[in-house]
Each structure stands twice: as structure tokens, then as C-alpha cells.
Amino acid sequence: MKLKVALDFGKLDPERVSTQLLPYEVLDSHGVLRAKGVVGSSYTASSVIEAEDSAPVFVRLTLPSGRTLLRKVTSGKKAELVTFSDSSFRGAPWYRWVSPRVSLASQKGVVATQKTISLGSSESVWVRIWQRSESGWRVAPLAFEDPESSKGARQFERQLGSSPFMLQFGGAKTPWRLMSLPGGGRVRVFFAAKSLVQGTEDSVRVVVTGFRPIAETLMQFLKSDPKAAAQLLTASQELPGISSIDSVDPVEALAASYVRLRVGAWSEEQTILLDGYCERFGWIPDFRLLRAITNARSGLSSHSKFDACVDDLFQSIRSGPPIFAEGARLIREMIEILSDIESVNDTDELKLARRLLRTSVDDGVAFSFYGADPYTPTVRRRFGIPEATRESDSRKHAKSGKRAASSVRSWKMSVEEARVESGIAGHEFTKASLPFPSREGSQPVSRSDGYLTFLRDFRRK
Amino acid sequence: MTTLYENLTTANNAGIHALVIGIAEYPHLLNGTKTTTKNAFGLQQLTSPVVSAAAFVDWPFRSHQGFDPHHLNPDAPLLSVECLLSPKEATPVHTPAGDVLVERANREAIRLAFKVWVSRLQKNPDNVGIFYVAGHGLLDTEDNTLNILCEDFGFDDDDVWSGAFDFPRTARALERKVRGSIYYFVDCCRQASKKLSANTGKPRPIQSIEHDDEVIHTGSTRLYATSATEKAYGDPGKVSRFTEALLLALKGHCGERTDDSPIWQVDGTTLKVAVDKLLKRAGKSYAPQVPKEDTEKSPRALLGLTQPPKVMVEVDVAPDRHRSSATVYLKSPRGTIVSQVTSPPGVWQTVVPKGIYDVGAFAINEAFAETTMEDQDLSPPAYVRVLRVST
């Protein structure tokens, strides 16, 4: 029997942000794997299985969130088409792209569009964006577009240049977190209250897409099932109509490199490619981190290899945290390898790497950590709005020299500008200060700088 | 060191080599039998690790037809088992050759046993190693490194770490020493101590990393009992929650089979999924314990089972007033009733082979309409559902 498997995920996700490739398995009634493959949004996959008798077979599609969809196929025909659609996915249409990535709770009323824009009954969340330039990290203009909101959820988009970016958010109940954003293109950021998303420890769950569904699906599967990620990677290079993963998009190339390294599919060709990526996309810290690891794994048998490896690691750490959480594994490996070498162990770079690891959050595919700013990963979690802890931050920065000074400047600038932009009187946030309109009658929001708050009736006590 | 089992005739062939360590008694920790170290970090005596390690070491020796070294994996027979235990009172371990009292797990004994285990693994590139350890673990918050405390921890207050070892760097060193695959099962707390961060120095790995050497291993899986900074639990004198879940998974509650092989294979990812679900299922009334898995490259399958994996099924009928008149069943896609019960007093529990089933209930007295959930994917280790019926 020839089984054709198709995805119909485009109706509610016309931009096909949610996913383009998903692994499927064909099982018999005993759960024995009869065939497996990869299906794409714009590609119908096919598997040929031997139809022994009239026994049915089952096609199981696995979503990045871990959720599976099962379809029964009664054999007897020579060919059968099985289509998986997104019609059963939860969520309002504008955030249904999130549904394959995280498990959304079924809550009556949550999906309905609301005028209120709170993330919870008493929660408030502020957000800002940091950008890395040659002079260091600075708070970047927010310039959000296409904002959407409903009860328990918010979303906005923004264009990012080719440099490291970090999203920072926090609130009265949300510890301050920084999350890497993939630069070099458009990003969409989705915030959801804990009540909306299952399996979230913090009170807010953030999901980011850089509109690179293949790369993002690869990284999600790499977390839960590396073998499936390897299968997807192979398929992504073979499917017609989908660009090769080795194309010039740096984030896709990065995801492919991570998968190959993790599953032991690294080759000499990849090493050559990686040299090119390091050269061409020097603003992505992950590439140098990958090259440091591949060097270390090949044996640091000469001074020059050792120096090159350490240099790559240090340059990577200096230029910012990795884009993907997978980078944390590599940082850990490098620390384990180098920590008994005194000349490396006591360096500022390795200390910062350790702080990043200690504070990193295992939540999603983006690298994220708890911290006051990109320079200050902190184990002790902070809550509230930025100015409440500004002074204590300054003291910390004062101890750590030049870099600290630049971050303090950024910090003060952000706070002061936020006051102007948001019309904050003292520490009060008024309804008029809200930068986000509700979904009804929504207008594009463009702000020059500062941070935004999501809750209109927030009061500092 | 105590060798519980060694197959000398096929020692150079590919197979499984296990090193199992359980440490419950720490003489220099609180309430110990010797002088308490000033670096006790508030840690007490334990009981569960030795019971857990003994249960773990018993697992490869047991099969339905007595001991058969091939019963875990037809392609990789059991070739050796090395064991070290530190109980409060002498605890014999059951082996195919009879009960054995094993050497205690101080650092030097662990180092020597480790050396022997590694040399065995090095004999064949297709070997599969098992490293199981249960005892006190302390997270070094600076590096997020797990330090495992040996029995003699605290013996020398001037060198507090002389009785401990750095686990991640030990495992990292083996990537450059062993070509085969290694499965690490670490049943230890991963909590940090505030006093630890103020302490100077770090424990050494059992095996140092040779920086000049290239990584040669096929792959490895590290399965931790709990997440970083969290506790691992065990009732006093009983097998710990993690080891209990791990053993249940290993004893036929996980596995995947492809059409071209009669063998159900168990690898790290499969095991993690099963252990995670089993811990959640067992821990409904306890503090949550989430195991963490880290698989590097593509390790060879740990187990190859000839029988399909089993699924523990729990089906409840709601509202519960209809239980007494209900017949609950599991039906195969061909329409055969595989298992059923009439008038279950509570949640119906049964065990069936992995597969796709219809799950349903009908009323003896037509108190409610027959209700069926079709094409339910009963994947190991467990399937739990509430069947809502209506009149």
C-alpha cells in the first residue's frame, strides 16, 4: 500500500510560521514501526508499506511540543492519503502558530479576544530589547509592529539587524530574564500567562520565532529527540521546494550545525563550512563556540590548536550569549575541558561563561538566563520594574570595571527614556501610558526606546 | 573492588560491562560513626542508595528462565558486573553464583574498580558500559558540576574533596578513552550548598581529561535522577523513586521496534521518556522529581528485548456512580477484546502489550450508553484515562 501523508497547516497559519517539516511514523496495531518519514507544509510525503492483510495501520505525527496526532488507515486500497490539519489546534488564530511548539491549556474564554491586556489577574510584565554593537550592549528601540493581544496572551513583531539581540522581560511575579533573539531578520515574540501554557515554571512563557520554521523545528526536536532532529535535517535537504539547510541563512546553518554535532554526523566538510560561517557571520557567537568545541574534540595536540580553541571560545563569550539553548551544552563542555588549565580557568571570559550557565533557564530552544542586563546574569532572581533595583545594580557594576560602566549608562538611559515615553508619573503606570492597544481597533505600535509594560493598573507599593 | 560476574570466555567480544556503586553510610557526615567533618554541609546518613544499588545490580542477573547473559540484549551479552557498596550493616548481593558481600565504596576502591571497568570497555569498540551510582551528590554552583561523595568523604578536613569526585569531568574524560557507548545512571541529589560556594578547591575527576586526545566514543547517555539544583527522593530503607522507575522501565516498560527486526530496542531517549512518566505517575503525592537526560552522539542501544514492551493501564469511569454497572474493556483494532473488567471497585488497572486499542465501557443494565475512545495509542510505560459516560 502506498501511503501519502500531507500537512494542512496553512489555513490558520498562512505564513507557515508554525512548522514546515514534521516527522511521522507508520505503526501497526502492535506499535511496531512499519515506516517513517518527514512531511512538509508544502510537500506530501509518501511511504510504501507491505499490506499483509486487512489489518489497519496508524500514522502518528509528532509535533515539536511532543504532542502526537494519530490517524487510522484501513488497508485494502493500493493508495491512501492521510492529511493532518491544524483545525484542532487551540488558541486564537493570531497565535495558533505557537500551538505545535508548546502545549496550550484548554481554558474556556482564554482564546476569546478581550479588551483587557493583562497576562493574569495580578501580573504585570515589562519588556525591552538589548542590542550588541562594537561598543557593547545597549537598549535598542522597541519599534514593535503588528501587536496582538487577548486575555492571557500578547504578541508583537520587530525587524532585527545582523547583530546579537536579547529580549528582556520581568514583572511583579516574573523574574527578570534575558532571552536571545535571532538577528538578521524579522522576529515575532509571543507572551502567555502560565494559565494558558502547560508545563511552565515561571508565570510567563515566551515563544519566539525568527520565521525560520525548519531551523526552529530542528532545534525543538534536538531537545526532545535528537534522532528525530537528524531525520528532519536529512529530509530538509532532500525535499523539493524547500531551500537547503546549507543556504546562506545563518540561523538555519547554525541549527543544522548543532544537529550534526550532537548526533555525531560531523564531517570534514562541516569543519570547512564552519570556518566560512565564523568568517561571514561573526556576529553570531554560536559559530565560534561550535568551532571551539570541534577543535577541542579533535584533540588539542599542539599549542596553536589550543590557542585557536581558547581564542574562539573567548571571542564567542565576549560577543554575547548563544542564540540557541543548545549552546549552553557546548559552554558546559568547554568549561569541563578547560577548567583544570589555570591560565584559562581564571579568565573573565570563563567566569562569565560560568555565570551564564548557572543562571540559564531550561525553557524552550532560545538561550535565556535570569539577569539584570546582558552583562549581569544573576542567580538571585529579581522581580518588579527596573528602577526598583537600579541602585543595587550600579553597585555591582562599579565593581566590574569598564563593561559595567557602559551597561549602567544604558540602564539609566532606558529608565529615563521609558519615563518620558510612557508618561510614567513617579512609579505609577496609568492607563494612558499603555503602549499596547487592545486587539480591537489595534494600531501599529512604534516606540523609540525604553521598556513597555503590559498591565494598565500596575501600582508599586 | 568486587567482581560479581565476569564472562572470561567472551571477554573480548562486544557486550555489556556494568559498574554499580551505592553509598549509604558516610562515617564523617552527621550522625556518622566517626569524627564528623567540619565540611558536612548538613548532610546525614542514608539508607536508600545501597538498597537501590543492590536492586539495580540484581536486575541483569534475573530473567524468566534463570540467568542468561543474553537476555538483556541478544547482540550484547552481559560480560561483567563490578560492584561497590557502603551499607550501614553488611548487605549481601544476590548473584548467579550465590550471595556475595562486596567491598566498600571509598574513593580509592571506586578509582580501582573504575580502572578495571574502563579497561574492559576498551577491549571492543562495540561494548556498552553501564555506570550506576547512588549516594550523596552536591552541586558546585560555580560550574553547575555534580560532585559525588564517596564513603570516606570528610576523612581529611584539610582536603575536603579527597573523598569525592567530579562526575561530569569523569564522564567527559571517557569520551577520549572508550570507543563504545556508555549509559550513566546517577541517582543523587543535585542540590547546591551555600557553604560549598565559599569553600576553596574542587574534587578531582576519577579519570583526568587528556586534552591532546580526540573524542572517540560512539555516544553516551547521562540520566540524572533529578534536575540541577533539585533533590532526588527515596524512602528510608527502600529503593529510591528514580531507581524504582528506572528498573521498571528496564524490565520491559519501554522499547521501540522496527519492521525489519524482531528486537525491541531501548536507548537513552526511550528510557528517559519512560522514567519521566513513571516518576510522574508514582509521585502524584510527593514532591515532583524530574529526571534529566543528556545524550551525546548516537550510543548503541542498551537493551534488545524479545518481548513487546508492557503498558500499565489505568482507566476510570466517570461519574463514579456508574462504575458498579460498567464493563470496561480494551479492544484490538481487529475487534478482539484483549482485557476487560466488570464492576471495577475503583480505577481499573491492567497490563497489556504496547499497541493501538479501543478503550470503552458499556453498562450491564443500560444505565449509560456505550462509550468508546477509538485508536488509543497505548505507549509504554503507562496509559491513564478517565472514560466519561453519559446516560
B338: buried, middle or exposed (CB in 10 Å: 19+, 13-18, 0-12)? middle
Does the pLDDT of residue A434 top 70, yes or no?
Answer: no
Write the residue in B169, B219, B374 that is nearest to A264 by C-beta: B219
User: Does pLDDT of A424 surpass 50?
Assistant: no
**HSE-up of residue B316 (Cα within 13 Å, Cβ side):** 9
CB distance A286 to A316 below 8 Å? yes
Question: Is A416 a residue whose pLDDT tops 50?
Answer: no
Contact predicate A411/A393, CB 8 Å = yes
DSSP-assigned letters across all residues of A14-76: TT--S-SEEEEEEE-TT--EEEEEEEETTB-EEEE----SS--EEEEEE-TTS-EEEEEE---
DSSP A328: H
CA distance B66 to chain A (A): 28
Here the contacts of A433-437 (C-beta below 8 Å, separation 24 or greater) are: A434/A117, A435/A144, A436/A117, A436/A147, A436/A149, A436/A154, A436/A156, A437/A147
- Closest chain B residue by Cα to residue A31: B355
For residue B142, which residues of chain A lie inside 8 Å, CB to CB? 354, 358
Buried b (16+ CB within 10 A) or exposed e, A199-220: ebebbbbbbbbbbbbbbbbbbb
Contacts of B202 in chain A (CB under 8 A): 339
Mean pLDDT of A34-60: 81
Q: Residue B172 is nearest to which of A34, A70, A337, comparing CB atoms?
A: A337
Of residues A20 and B217, more confidence is placed in B217
User: Can you read off the three cell numbers belonging to residue A405?
Assistant: 560602566
Distance CA A458, CA B146 (A): 42
Q: Test A31 with B259 for CB contact under 8 angstroms.
A: no
In tens, the pLDDT along B260-306 reads 899 999 999 999 999 999 998 887 667 788 899 999 999 999 999 98
Test A297 with B214 for CB contact under 8 angstroms: yes
Q: What's the confidence (pLDDT) of residue A291?
A: 98
Compute the average pLDDT of residues B249-268.
Answer: 93
Would you state the pLDDT for residue A445?
30
Identity of the residue in A29, A337, A379 whose CB atom sits nearest the CB atom of B211 = A337
Q: Tell me which residue of B195, B58, B188 sits closest to B140, measured CA to CA.
A: B195
B132: cell is 550506576
Say yes or no to pLDDT of B206 above 90. Answer: yes
Q: Which residue from A401, A417, A325 is spatially nearest to A363, judged by alpha carbons?
A: A325
Instruction: Tell me the mean pLDDT in the region A350-370.
Output: 93
- Cβ distance of A357 and B374 shorter than 8 Å: no
Minimum mean pLDDT among A396-400, B111-115, B155-159, B367-371: which range?
A396-400
- Single out the residue of B99, B88, B97 nearest to residue B33, CA to CA: B88
Q: Which residue has the higher pLDDT, A203 or A162?
A: A162
Predicted ipTM > 0.85:
yes
CB crowding A326-351: b at 16 or more within 10 Å, else e: bbbbbbbbbbbbbbbeeebeebeebe
Sole residue written with cell 535571532: A182
Least confident of A14-23, A147-156, A350-359: A14-23
DSSP symbols for A373-403 = STT-B-SS---S-GGGGHHHHHHHHHHTHHH
pLDDT at residue number A431: 27
Buried b (16+ CB within 10 A) or exposed e, B346-360: eebebebbbbbbbbb
User: Are A194 and A299 contacting, i.e. CB atoms less than 8 angstroms apart?
Assistant: no
Q: Find, in chain B, the residue whose alpha carbon is nearest to that of A338.
A: B211
What pLDDT, in 10s, does the model give residues A316-342?
A: 999 999 999 999 999 999 999 999 898
C-alpha cell at B81: 558486573
Judge whether B379 is closer than 8 Å to chain A, CB to CB.
yes
Distance CA A336, CA B172 (A): 8
**pLDDT score of A86:** 82
Candidate from A13-22, A91-100, B150-159 with smallest mean pLDDT:
A13-22
Q: Would you call A264 and B297 a contact, using CB atoms and an 8 Å cutoff?
A: yes
**Exposed/middle/buried for residue A277 (C-beta within 10 Å: 0-12, 13-18, 19+):** buried
For residue A143, the model assigns a pLDDT of 79
**All cell numbers assigned to B248:** 521498571
B214 in reach of chain A (CB within 8 A): yes
- Determine if the peptide bond prior to B60 is cis (ω within 30°): no
Mutate to test the interface with A, among B144, B254, B258, B379 (most CBs of A within 10 A): B144
More confidently predicted of A316 and A202? A316
- Per CB-CB distance under 8 Å, the chain A contacts of B379 are 31
- Residue A325 in 3-state DSSP? coil
pLDDT digits (tens, 9 = 90+) for B289-348: 889 999 999 999 999 998 999 999 999 999 999 999 999 999 998 889 999 999 999 999
Q: Would you state the cell numbers that stand for residue A431, as one nine-digit string?
A: 492607563
Return mean pLDDT, chain B: 92
For B227, the closest chain A residue by CA position comes to: A362
Give pTM, 2 decimals. Answer: 0.89
Task: Return the residue in A68, A336, A360 with the most chain B beta carbons within 10 A, the one to mutate for interface testing.
Answer: A336
Residue A225 above 50 pLDDT? yes
